[in-house]
Amino acid sequence: MMKITVVGSIFILLLSGISFTTASTTLQSEQLTYTFSKISINEQEGYSKITIDETNHLLVQHDRYMVPTLIETLTFPQGTTIENVECSPSNIAYFTLENSLQMTPLPVMMSNDFILTPGHKREPIMLDSWVSYDISSGLRDNKRCVILNIELYPARYDQTGHMIQFAQQLDIQIKFKEPSIEPTKTIDEYDLLILSPSLFSEEIQPLIVHKTERAIRTRGITLEDIYAETLFPIQGRDQQEQIKYFIKNAVEQWGITSVLLVGGLDEFPARMTHIYVSYFDVDEPFPSDLYYADIYDGQNEFSSWDSNQNDIFAEYDWGDEHLTDEIDLYPDINIGRLPCIDETEVTTIVNKIITYEANKAWTQEWFTDLVVIGADTFTDDTFGISEGEYINQIVIDTLQGFIPNKIWDSNGRLSAPAPKGLNEIYDAINKGCGFIDFSGHGYHDMFATHPNGVENIWIPKPWGFDTSHVAKLSNGDKLPIIILGACSTCKFDVNDNCLGWSFLSNPNGGGIGSFGVTTFGYANGGGKKMSEGFIEEMTMNIFKAYSEMTNKGVKVSLGDIWNNALIDYISPMMEVRDYATIESFQPFGDPTLQISDGSNPPEIPEKPTGPTKIEPEKLYTFSSSTTDPDGDTIYYLFDWGDGNSSGWIGPYESGDIIEESHSWAEKGRYSIRVKARDNNGVQSDWSEALQISKQKEINSYNFIKHVLEMIRSNLNVLSS
């Protein structure tokens, strides 16, 4: 049976329609039709900008014009061979633009020690195809499958004459062969494999017991066992490859879907990559744990990361000969590393993981607090935008129902005099929060950024937030997941207590998981384009993955959000800095760490009821109610429409009518809405909004007041 699972933009497919033409021969074909109903052209800032309905992505790539695209990720059963993908455009319209299309902004680096602005002659590249695609092997919903990633370009641009070709319909035909042999009965003996040097075996044992009790069947294996061929015959030309072949065997023989690596660079080897970023002239090898997770390529072969077999791994434009290895990139298992350097560190993090899950941290009241830290990452962008705050705000908008704690320059908190800026960060984290988003500049041991427009000042004052500050955090069991949009913060190869890890190694608090890069972080220009592409796109994919998965009410792990962020990022048309971003994006933590429960969300609460006419500074009460399909207890969050919220109140029994009061400082029109969360931490959508406005004032009074004001202002004019 042919089975096509459409993941991702289901909305688009429903609009476009899908038709099956299953042939009885081995070669089968699948026809997909995409229609694009409307193209809009805006002329602004001397450029033309196009938007197209039914697209879901913007192609933002160095040396290219920015065009909207549609990315579709299709999955096929493991072992499927994709023979061919063809695209036929129809209903083509032609437009001439007034101005040139806007090109992707120059890339910038989010490092705190230097910012390069090299002179670079740009030869714009034009799109000459309607589609590009790649075929890979990856993990989707805990099942390994063949992934076909298609990017459609409904608008092609010819810069000579500013001409747009717009195809209102693109028909895609996929020819493929199902696996000739039925995959052998799925082996499902273990879920999690913990790999470490034997030095740590004793300290890891309580984690294996804990995981097994939580129905995650766990097996601990030492590196010494791997090299001594205790379980599987050894294969591979160096330790890293031998470890990777061992993981492949564990996937095939035991059915594992997650691997936890324990040990810093000296204790547990890492695969170094070889990517040359010509624009910045950077050729720094950096470690990539994705190497251990990307086990198979699209042909179901071992993904060696050395396709040209010269014993230099993960090359991109590398060396005198500018060699490039073909890399699949899609993880086939979830992975995480605990770069512990001694037994004490192992015991610390093992205890933190056990406590976090035993407490069901994701159901605790502090979990829905979100700390965001950022300011003006690039002080010289032409729009005067504080990029860090801009990115933080997108994170706030993505994590609906989380209560933001903004440590910013614009509200004076991050830029406060020393040590007040640092204290703001300590206080926010020590109160407890589920997530922290840092957006700015980084180094292996620190994070720092600028006040708006002031290049020579670093905040928080005097010299940023570093690992010595992280060591002072005392948030106990209230442990966040930290996402670092900055350079080098997870560079465990040069610093065995790098910033990303320092949160996890703190025995008195800190964090439970972190994500950041092991090399330079890149961004597209300054200004609002920062959120498109490279490290900030990846960090936002983490939040998006968390939000989308928990809203479905499924059980979510730290490894799941990492895997989904990567799947969401990878697209057929990528450049060198995309490869650097994907390969360097480091997960620290236990990939099976639970961060959300599987439960049905409460029903959307009723539209709030209460007065619709209000006066400033007076307290008004509003009520609402909802039920939970599982009968769980419920918490409520009112959004008062003036930038304030009630915070989560509760717990209440399912079906209870609940009340909450608020006063508004100023006259105005406000929308009040309410959201519900069950005791498993699963949220409903927002309710319909109740519109309120100021109390109608008596007209005659207004008229007299108006006349009096006129007289007074005339008198003022006369007397001056």
Binding site for Ca ion (CB under 5 A): 137, 294, 296, 306, 308, 310, 312, 315, 325, 328, 330, 332, 376, 378, 381, 385, 526, 599-600, 628, 630, 632, 678
**CA-angle at 287, arms to 284 and 288, nearest 5°:** 125
At its nearest, how many Å lie between Ca ion and the CB of residue 534? 16
| Nearest C-alpha neighbor of 124 from the set 94, 104, 108 | 104
Q: Cβ 508 to Ca ion, closest distance in Å? A: 34
Report in angstroms how near the CB of residue 444 gets to Ca ion at its nearest: 24
Q: How far is the CB of 450 from Ca ion (least distance, A)?
A: 8
Phi then psi dihedrals of residue 531, to 5 deg: -80, -15
550 in helix, strand or coil?
A: helix
Residue 410 and residue 213: Cα distance in Å, rounded? 48
Cβ-contact 458, 112 below 8 angstroms: yes
Q: Are 327 and 318 in contact (CB under 8 A)?
A: no
Closer to Ca ion at the Cβ: 454 or 689?
454
The least CB distance from residue 376 to Ca ion, in Å, is 5
Q: In this complex, which beta carbon is closest to Ca ion, that of residue 390 or of residue 670? A: 390
- Smaller CB separation from Ca ion, 211 or 441: 441
Q: Which helix (H) or strand (E) holds 425?
A: helix 420-430
- CB 289 to Ca ion: min, Å: 14
The 3-class secondary structure across 4-69, one letter per residue, is: CEEECCHHHHHHHCEEEECCCCCEEEEEEEEECCCEEEEEECCEEEEEECCCCEEECCCCEECEEE
Q: How far is the CB of 347 from Ca ion (least distance, A)?
A: 34
Q: What angle do CA 564, 331, 681 make, to 5 degrees?
A: 30
- Taking the least distance from each CB to Ca ion, the nearer of 449 and 514 is 449
CA distance 246 to 237: 13
| Nearer to Ca ion among residue 347 and residue 594 (C-beta) | 594
Please give the Cα distance from 534 to 517 (Å, whole number).
11
- First and final CA of the chain: distance in angstroms? 90
CB of 148 to Ca ion, least distance (A): 13
Nearest distance, CB of residue 656 and Ca ion, angstroms = 15
Nearest to 30 by CA among 230, 178, 198: 178
| Signed CA dihedral, 409, 412, 414, 419: sign only | positive
> What is the closest distance, in whole angstroms, from the C-beta atom of residue 56 to Ca ion in the complex?
23
CA gap 338, 260 in Å, rounded: 8
* Cβ atoms < 10 Å from Cβ of 53: 13
What is the rounded distance in angstroms from the CA atom of residue 588 to the CA atom of residue 517?
A: 11
Rounded least distance, CB 388 to Ca ion, Å? 9
Q: How much of the chain is in helix, strand and coil states, percent to nearest 5?
A: 25, 30, 45
Which is nearer to Ca ion, 140 or 217 (by Cβ)?
140
Nearer to Ca ion, 104 or 683 (CB): 683
Residue nearer to Ca ion on the CB measure, 201 or 257: 257
Closer of 381 and 537 to Ca ion (Cβ): 381
Nearer to Ca ion, 203 or 241 (CB): 241
CA separation, residue 639 to residues 402, 432, 494, 682 (Å)? 11, 21, 45, 18
The smaller minimum CB distance to Ca ion, of residues 278 and 310, is found at 310
